[in-house]
Structure 1
Amino acid sequence: MAIPDLNLLVTLDVLLTESSVARAGRRLHLSPSGMSRALARLREVTGDPLLVRAGRDLVPTPLALELRERVRQLVQDAEAVLRPARALNPAQIERTFTLRTSEGFVETFGPRLLQRVDEEAPGVRLRFMQKTDRESTSLRDGTVDLETGVIGTATSPEVRAQALFRDRFIGVVHLGHPLAKGEITPSRFAEGRHVVVSRGGFDKGPIDEALQRLGLERQIATVVGGFASALGLARTCGFVASVPDHHTAGLREGMFSFELPFPGPEVTVSMLWHPRMEGDLAHRWLRKLVRDSCRGSVQ
């Protein structure tokens, strides 16, 4: 069996990135005719046109779109294997990392994380983005470097993940609420007016299922899209909010928090990143800082 020409992977990667024979040729230091011959050879090997004319531009075929991410990763892995090993000096990093996090993460874990960054790598800046869904698109397209949250069905299987901590749901009310005094029973909890957190707008979830097993049903006053909004309404409108303990610790100051009077839901909060960042030394350093900061803040 003939050994395939692995140099074609580099050529294919550049062609699929540039979608232009001329630009790909300049990057690979090939003449236009040489680049055209390389494309012709790739078409012969793959049995697909790969790039087709659309007006003045070239557009990728469905196979090319399917191969683009795989080829990019193969080339990066090969470059990492052949790259000389080197030590990272965080103090010399000049870079901005974008982190997409759920509500409460910055307030709870941000201070410790930013302190470590300031101590070890003053040239690094962290940009935090609000996480409004569980899609992995921003990790795939590189607009986000690292993400935290609960892995769900919308999380792409290609994404790398590492667990940070377990979190449990608790109840929260303002200090003058009836639940802030006396024993909190399942029935007293259910009788309160509740604010539910749901990005999809659903008004039922694991807490309702737990109450249903006890023959109870809570009164849902409103549905919001985030935990900060739920706590804000609980603080000002007298609602009962059910939120993750660790993730909202920085948002509940001056409020009354209590354990749910029945077995409540627990979640595993993870950090996620795209495989192309796996071998990046600065990204590895950042992942370690995030792990350490979460472990230091969760007791």
Structure 2
Amino acid sequence: MKLPDLNLLVALDILLEEGSAVAAARRMNLSAPAMSRTLARIRDAIGDPVLVRSGRGLTPTPRALELREQVRGVVEQAHAVFTSGREIDLRTLERTFSLRANDVFVGAYGGKLRDLLARHAPNTVLRFVPEGDGETDGDALQAGRIDLYISSMRNFAPDIKLQHLFTTSFVGIARAGHPVFDGPVDLARFTAYDHISVSRRGLARGPFDTTLAERGHARRVSLITANFHSAIFAVADSDLILPLMPRHMLPIVERLGLKLRPFELPLPVDSVEIVQAWHPRLDNDHAHKWLRRMLKDVCGEE
């Protein structure tokens, strides 16, 4: 009897976990056409559509939901064959995990993640590291200076492993009582006041300004900061407007007790996909896999 291709089980497990052929392709380091062919082979082997189009994503069929736990169990058992005797004891694990992420992510998720590590792996240390001078994030992953890079989706090197964490949109924010709220926040009112630009490279202009120009408007940027935390304090004490604050930062603003008021932007701005990226040498590292799973779970709580 011809054995089935067990790689299809791995692909099915990832497809069911991600709910997206594009995200599954990234994790498996496959092209979109190759992932589509793999999904077609899975459908032929199982005799079921497995995943069907729903909006912009894929929804598992009843048969796929029925198989989900079985598939996960088989993949884990297969993995155990090659890793037997090398499992880690989280309670005694002593390790420092170095992550690179911006201040918005650290503020929104750093505390929750550290609480999880303290509960399950009390001897570990979570270290968020700044960017290196002249060093790309890919170089830092390659050299092992960081374990994970958490960022918006971008063109990573082909060998870098990726996993979707969440998608965020943007809002504008100004101090409560700002005159911008004296009427509807349309483009004219929005651009009548000075803006803050948040740029780690110190840039005042970007794609947002191109979008404004296409609508016949321009803004004046009179303050540039490297991170959002300094920006929100500057907004609280001035008539400046912060036009592009990630929506998932709003709970941080509330916890700080700053008298700030968010508003919907008067022009369309694309949402941003946030991913975690790692070097393939860490793909099967047990501690690293556990950390990635914790990150996925924490971000999935929102």
- What residue in structure 1 maps to residue 105 of structure 2? 105
Q: Percent identity?
A: 31
Q: Give the AA of the match of 1:136.
A: G
- What residue in structure 1 maps to residue 268 of structure 2? 263
Gaps of 5+ in 1: 1-79
Question: Can you list the C-alpha shifts for 1:176-196, whole angstroms capped at 9, x where unaligned?
Answer: 311244321121111110011
TM-score normalized by the length of structure 1:
0.66
Q: Give the AA of the match of 1:128.
A: F
Q: CA deviation at 1:266?
A: 1.6
Question: Can you list the C-alpha shifts for 1:78-107, whole angstroms capped at 9, x where unaligned?
Answer: xx9965365443223221111111112121
Q: Whole-Å Cα distance in 2 between the matches of residues 213 and 261 of structure 1?
A: 13
Q: CA deviation at 1:271?
A: 0.7
Q: CA deviation at 1:251?
A: 4.3
Gaps of 5+ in 2: 1-79
TM-score normalized by the length of structure 2:
0.65
Q: Whole-Å Cα distance in 1 between the matches of residues 165 and 120 of structure 2?
A: 21
Q: Whole-Å Cα distance in 2 between the matches of residues 238 and 265 of structure 1?
A: 26
- What residue in structure 2 maps to residue 140 of structure 1? 142
Instruction: Give the conservation status (yes or no) of the 8 Å contact 1:107–1:251.
Output: no
Change (3 A) 1:109 1:134: farther
Q: Whole-Å Cα distance in 2 between the matches of residues 113 and 135 of structure 1?
A: 22
Q: Which protein has the larger Cα radius of gyration, Structure 1 or Structure 2?
A: 1
Instruction: Give the conservation status (yes or no) of the 8 Å contact 2:153–2:272.
Output: no
Q: Give the AA of the match of 1:162.
A: Q
Change (3 A) 1:130 1:180: farther
Task: Establish whether residue 150 from structure 1 lines up as the match of residue 155 from structure 2.
Answer: no
Q: Whole-Å Cα distance in 2 between the matches of residues 85 and 247 of structure 1?
A: 42
Mean Cα deviation higher: 272-281 or 89-98: 89-98
Task: Establish whether residue 295 from structure 1 lines up as the match of residue 296 from structure 2.
Answer: no
Q: Whole-Å Cα distance in 2 between the matches of residues 270 and 280 of structure 1?
A: 19
- What residue in structure 2 maps to residue 159 of structure 1? 160
Change (3 A) 1:200 1:106: closer
Q: Whole-Å Cα distance in 1 between the matches of residues 154 and 226 of structure 2?
A: 17
Task: Establish whether residue 231 from structure 1 lines up as the match of residue 232 from structure 2.
Answer: yes
* RMSD between superposed Cα atoms in Å: 2.4
Q: Give the AA of the match of 1:276.
A: R
Q: CA deviation at 1:131?
A: 4.5
Instruction: Give the conservation status (yes or no) of the 8 Å contact 1:98–1:126.
Output: yes
- What residue in structure 1 maps to residue 277 of structure 2? 272
- What residue in structure 1 maps to residue 92 of structure 2? 92
- What residue in structure 1 maps to residue 241 of structure 2? 240
Q: Whole-Å Cα distance in 1 between the matches of residues 236 and 194 of structure 2?
A: 13
Q: Whole-Å Cα distance in 1 between the matches of residues 224 and 118 of structure 2?
A: 39
Q: Give the AA of the match of 1:221.
A: S
Describe how 1:198-209 pairs up with structure 2 within 5 A.
Answer: 198-209=199-210
